[in-house]
Chains A and B, each alone.
Chain A
């Protein structure tokens, strides 16, 4: 399932959430984030690359993550992102919202 760019803000918020969560594991470059999400969702979820980078830059502008240039594991110049304290706060808030939302939806869907 590829998340299309023209989907709703909900989807956009979801992408942000996933990225933030991913970065709690430590600083990572854009490709790494994408790879990890795909692995974690067992291939179910593949972020559209364009959307990923839009999201990363957007999050950076909002100071939820910050970036710096570094050297990747194969000695290439790469831009690394790290989550900020504000980002962690946002993550926890949005994450609990998402859980509530999901529970509510599931509650309805699982009826009968």
Chain B
């Protein structure tokens, strides 16, 4: 009696169930008892007596059986566990090895997965950081942004609020727990490295305590300590310029010649309304700036469960009351209250939506592609699996075998995807696709554990849905049947149709993406190439801010402006130079402007107001449409004149000649300024904004008064430099320093840079979708190719017969190509239908293009069909080279 092969215990298959174990033990013990009984019989006992004696001699039979079974079962469980671990290891190693042996296809598939997972990670990170993240202030759901309701035809949703209204709210609003305001400010800071311009803010009310963001160092200032001239630094400023020193409290700061004392440093992430976070220093609003007319951004905290709409009404009433009291001529149209969350979403919405849509579609296409690949692999290996099953592998074992392969695949893809995602985030930060006004900085978008978790779960879920499940379904077969038939031959009808369906879906998605890409690209081009109203070539711009302390009067400012222009015009290479208070495509102040002959009580007349040098229109090459531009005759003590733009003329002076009509710059004053000309519209605020009605005032003629500081203190210089002999920055700074050594110049940009900055968002969106569309196209082409190749393989017998019966190779070629194009055709139709269905939401992202433009749709469709035809060439070619006899015989 020899034991047979040496079976390693851990690999024993099949597993023994408890019943098996108990049976074995019973058999063994019964054998023992039987042998003992036999011996006893030999010694003379009767069979029955022998049996009971044997039982007695054994001892406690029950107990033994019990303890042996228990021990054996435990051993069995341990074995199974080890075997499971070992099997996991084995399958994983095997999966790796097979990938290693045939890397080509695997690399493609893993790359595709990695790219799509990476893209999803980037998008999720952006959405999380910019929209979903909880604002780091106390009870953020109760904090709102308050503004004046803008004129009904304006494109923006809220305007700044008058200080008088803010004070009224502070005093009497019952639905608010606190309200504060801030205004942007630029300061000349006499720092350790000399004077420089820094951006900051001035605050009215207890802004920082209201928000409840915890200070990094020190404390916030309240209204109570404004007399002591406190200043609060932003976190970035403190880190970059002061190396995050903790002894910064108590330091003195010279801003515009006034000495402030640092009392605190803001936290790194204040979560304040997006416009806020680029400011380096914060001071209380100076006494000289606290005029009722001053305009501020307002933030408030709602009391209890107050609803924004109700609060808006109360605030509107209080505002009206104050305006009545003060005899303000033009009343605000009402109050708008928006939650911070809404504001946040509105600002970054379109770009994020695009990114999200693109990433999702890419992921879908990638997953379906890799998924069909997995299914194909499984189908090839059905025979092997069937053999395993008949050798006794339990279904769990097979399932694990199939799943392990897929999961290895997807895990590699997912891990690479995470790495790519991190790189992608770095790239997005470098590109800065959002306008500086929309978000503080992309630093708040970080790469952290949650992101990794998200990526892992995405990979796992998609891996299971698209990799494991289909592979399992593909591998469910009857062992005997499959072993009998040859190789990985025919596939069932249903799975075939499934794969066709997937390919059609991929083509549809690609078509939709391609169409969107074309539309977005057209939008982007339209945006950048529209009539800007000025000639952006050969234009150089830069800005100066004249501080109130050094330039207390308009006369003083005018003196500077004249000297500056004289100096700049004398520079070599300058054809023309002028100043304005608002650069093209930049921000512009908007205010109510009474127009002669118009009753503005129901429909307020408003316009953007700009103070420009007399040479301005000539320098930027804005066409004069009617009348004239400013001339040398428009001097300070001459007749006060103004120029308006086309939109103003059309909107407020329709039906009569604009030239000669009168308007005024402030709501209280009667229209006394004579319009002498109408100029071409120039875009302000952004390329996608409509033209605003605008009024131009000659800089020479700005009268002293409140509007003077508003219009006269910002000097943006535009220079026409035709021969690329632009003066260097150093030269410009020297010229400015010669006039005022404490005045830094900021933001030198060429005309084309101004245009590009404005188009950044749209261009980024177009670029992203175009990339995704290209990838999707490639993937669908691959998918189509795969399906057709399989199709040809399956029908090789049929084709062989046809050829034998006289069909030419050409006919068969055409047939296969035809199939390919037909499949693609169905997909294209579905894709176009999807675009039509989503046209309305798509429209929001487009400029100057309708979503249903036939050229774009047609172009995309044609592209897809051409790609499909190309993809069909390969398989079709193979049909042509079929040897009919081989094909028929081969099974």
Interface assignment of A57: CB less than 8 Å from any CB of chain B:
yes
Q: How far is the CA of A82 from the CA of B61 in the complex (A)?
A: 24
Question: Which listed residue (B4, B39, B60) contacts A68, Cβ 8 A?
Answer: B4
The chain A residue sitting closest to B24, CB to CB, is A79
Which residues of chain A come closer than 8 Å to B71, judged between CB atoms?
Answer: 57-58, 61
B31 within 8 A of A: yes
- Does B44 sit within 8 A of A, measured CB to CB? no
**Chain-B contact segment, one of A9-17, A25-33, A93-101, A103-111:** A25-33
* Interface assignment of A43: CB less than 8 Å from any CB of chain B: no
Contact between A53 and B31 (Cβ–Cβ < 8 Å)? Answer: no
Of B62-70, B251-259, B758-766, B800-808, the segment with at least 4 beta carbons within 8 Å of chain A is B62-70
Q: In the assembled complex, how far is the CB of residue A39 from the closest CB belonging to chain B, in whole angstroms? A: 12
Residues of B within 8 A of A68 (CB): 3-4
User: Does A49 contact B58, Cβ atoms closer than 8 Å?
Assistant: yes
Residues of B within 8 A of A5 (CB): 59
Knowing A50-B58, A57-B71, A63-B9 are in contact, say whether A31-B3 is a contact too (CB < 8 A).
Answer: no
Which residue on B lies nearest to A71, using beta carbons?
A: B1
Q: B3's closest neighbor in chain A, by CB?
A: A68
Are B32 and A66 interface neighbours, CB within 8 A? Answer: no
Contact with B along A45-83 (1 / 0, CB 8 A): 000111101100110010100111011100011111010
Question: Any chain A CB within 8 A of the CB of B451?
Answer: no
In B1-48, the 8 Å CB interface with A consists of 1-4, 6, 9, 24, 27-29, 31-32, 34-36, 39
B67 interface neighbour in A54, A71, A76, A80, Cβ under 8 Å: A54
CB-CB under 8 A from B61, the residues of chain A are 50
Q: How far is the CB of B36 from chain A (nearest CB, A)?
A: 7
Q: Which one, A49, A67, A71, contacts B32 given CB within 8 A?
A: A49
* Residue of chain B at shortest CB distance from A81: B3
The verdict on A54 contacting B68 (CB below 8 Å), with A31-B32, A31-B35, A79-B28 known, is: yes
Q: Provide the bound-state CA to CA distance between A57 and B29, in Å.
A: 12
In angstroms, Cα B32 to Cα A70, docked, is 14
Whole-angstrom CA separation of A58 from B60 in the bound complex: 18
Residue of A nearest to B60 (CB): A50
A82 partner residues in chain B, CB cutoff 8 A:
3
Q: Which of A27, A34, A57, A80 contacts B68 (CB 8 A)?
A: A57
CB distance from A47 to the nearest CB of B (A): 10
Supposing A50-B58, A57-B71, A82-B3 touch, asked if A76 and B31 sit within 8 A by C-beta, the answer is yes
Q: B75 interface residue, CB < 8 Å from A?
A: yes
Residues from chain B with a CB closer than 8 A to the CB of A70 are 1, 3
Any A CB within 8 A of the CB of B829: no
B57 on the A face (CB < 8 A): yes
User: What distance in Å separates the Cβ of A25 from its nearest Cβ neighbour in chain B?
Assistant: 12
Measured between beta carbons, the chain B residues less than 8 angstroms from A27 are 1-3
Measured between beta carbons, the chain B residues less than 8 angstroms from A29 are 28, 31-32
Contacts of B27 in A (CB 8 A): 77, 79
Q: Which residue of the partner chain A has the closest CB to B32?
A: A31
* Chain B residues touching A, majority SS: helix
A57 B31 Cβ-Cβ under 8 A: no
Shortest Cβ distance from A17 into chain B, in angstroms? Answer: 20
Report if A48-B59 is in contact (Cβ < 8 Å); known contacts: A66-B3, A79-B24. Answer: yes
Is B483's beta carbon under 8 Å from chain A?
A: no
Q: What's the nearest-Cβ distance from chain B to residue A49, in Å? A: 4
Q: Does B72 contact A (CB under 8 A)?
A: yes
B67 touches A30 (CB 8 A): no
Q: Which residues of chain B from 39 to 94 have any CB-CB distance to chain A below 8 Å in the complex?
A: 39, 57-61, 63-64, 67-68, 71-72, 75
Q: Measured between alpha carbons, how far is A49 from B64 in the docked complex, in Å?
A: 9
- Is B57's CB under 8 angstroms from A53's CB? no
Docked pose: A92 CA to B34 CA in angstroms: 33
Question: In the complex the two chains form, what is the Cα distance from A48 to B63 in whole Å?
Answer: 13
Q: Which of B32, B57, B75 has the most CB of A within 10 A?
A: B32
| A residues in contact with B67, CB < 8 Å | 54
Q: Which of A51, A53, A54 contacts B28 (CB 8 A)?
A: A53
A71 to B3, CA, bound (A): 11
Query: Is B31 in contact with A31, judged by CB distance below 8 angstroms?
Result: yes
With the chains together, A82 CA to B6 CA distance in Å?
Answer: 11
Residue of A nearest to B4 (CB): A68
On whether A30 and B28 interact (CB within 8 A), knowing A54-B68, A57-B68, A80-B1, the answer reads yes
Q: Are B31 and A49 in contact (CB under 8 A)?
A: no
Q: How far is the CA of A3 from the CA of B746 in the complex (A)?
A: 102
Cβ of A49: which chain B residues have Cβ within 8 Å of it?
A: 32, 36, 57-59, 64
Report the bound CA distance from A62 to B398 in whole Å: 30
Which residue of A has the minimal Cβ distance to B28? A79
Q: Which residues of the other chain, A, contact B4 by a CB distance below 8 angstroms?
A: 68
- Chain B residues near A61 (CB-CB < 8 A): 71, 75
Q: List chain A residues, Cβ under 8 A from B68.
A: 53-54, 57
Q: In whole angstroms, what is the CA distance A53 to B61 when docked? A: 11
Indicate whether A57 sits within 8 Å of B72 (C-beta atoms), given known contacts A76-B31, A77-B27: yes
| CA distance in complex: A38, B727 (Å) | 115
Residue of B nearest to A68 (CB): B3
User: How far, in angstroms, from A99 to B59 measured CA to CA in the complex?
Assistant: 30
- Chain A residues near B6: list those with CB within 8 A: 66
* Residue contact B72 to A78, C-beta cutoff 8 Å: no
Q: Give the shortest distance, in Å, between B3 (CB) and chain A (any CB).
A: 4
Q: Separation in Å of the B47 CB from the closest CB of chain A?
A: 15
* A37 nearest CB across to chain B (Å): 14
Q: In chain B between 782 and 810, which residues have their CB closer than 8 angstroms to a CB of chain A?
A: none
Q: Residues of A contacting B1 with CB < 8 Å?
A: 27, 70-71, 80
Q: Give the CA-CA distance A82 to B4 in the complex, in Å.
A: 11
A57 to B71, CA, bound (A): 8
A79 touches B9 (CB 8 A): no
Bound Cα distance from A63 to B7, whole angstroms: 12
Interface contact A50-B9, CB-CB below 8 Å: no
Contacts of A80 in B (CB 8 A): 1, 3
Nearest B residue to A5, CB-CB: B59
Partner of A78, one of B9, B28, B60, B75: B28
Q: Which residues of B have CB within 8 Å of A57?
A: 68, 71-72
Task: Report the minimum CB–CB distance from A87 to chain B (whole Å).
Answer: 13
Measured in the bound complex, the distance between the Cα atoms of B2 and A5 in whole Å is: 32
Q: How far is the CA of A78 from the CA of B60 in the complex (A)?
A: 21
Q: In the assembly, what is the distance between CA of A70 and CA of B34, in Å?
A: 16
Assess A76 versus B9: contact at CB under 8 Å? Given A49-B59, A53-B64: no
Contact B59 A50 (CB under 8 A): yes
Bound CA–CA A27/B59 (angstroms)? 25
CA distance A8 to B36 in the complex (A): 27
Known contacts A50-B58, A50-B59; is A79 also within 8 Å of B72 by CB? no
Interface contact A30-B32, CB-CB below 8 Å = yes
A18 to chain B, nearest CB (A): 17
Q: Name the CB-closest residue of B to A34.
A: B32
Task: Tell me whether A72 and B59 are in contact (CB under 8 A).
Answer: no
B11–chain A nearest beta-carbon distance, Å: 14
The answer to whether B36 touches A31, judged by C-beta atoms less than 8 angstroms apart, is: yes
- A68 vs B24: C-alpha distance in the bound complex, in angstroms? 11
| Minimum distance in angstroms from A58 CB to a CB of chain B | 8
CB distance from B8 to the nearest CB of A (A): 10
With a CB–CB cut-off of 8 A, which chain B residues contact A51?
Answer: 59
Known: A30-B28, A30-B32, A78-B28. A50 touches B3 (CB 8 A): no
Which residues of A come within 8 Å of B, CB atoms? 5, 27, 29-31, 34-35, 48-51, 53-54, 57-58, 61, 63, 66-68, 70-72, 76-80, 82
27 A-B pairs with C-beta separation under 8 A: A5-B59, A29-B31, A31-B32, A31-B36, A34-B32, A35-B39, A49-B36, A49-B59, A50-B58, A50-B61, A50-B63, A53-B28, A53-B68, A54-B67, A54-B68, A57-B72, A58-B71, A63-B9, A66-B6, A68-B3, A70-B3, A71-B1, A72-B35, A76-B31, A77-B27, A79-B27, A80-B3
Closest 8 CB pairs of A and B: A50-B59, A31-B35, A50-B64, A68-B3, A49-B58, A79-B28, A31-B32, A78-B31
A57-B72, A79-B31, A80-B3 given; 10 more Cβ-contact pairs under 8 Å = A29-B31, A50-B61, A50-B64, A51-B59, A53-B28, A53-B29, A53-B64, A57-B71, A63-B9, A77-B27
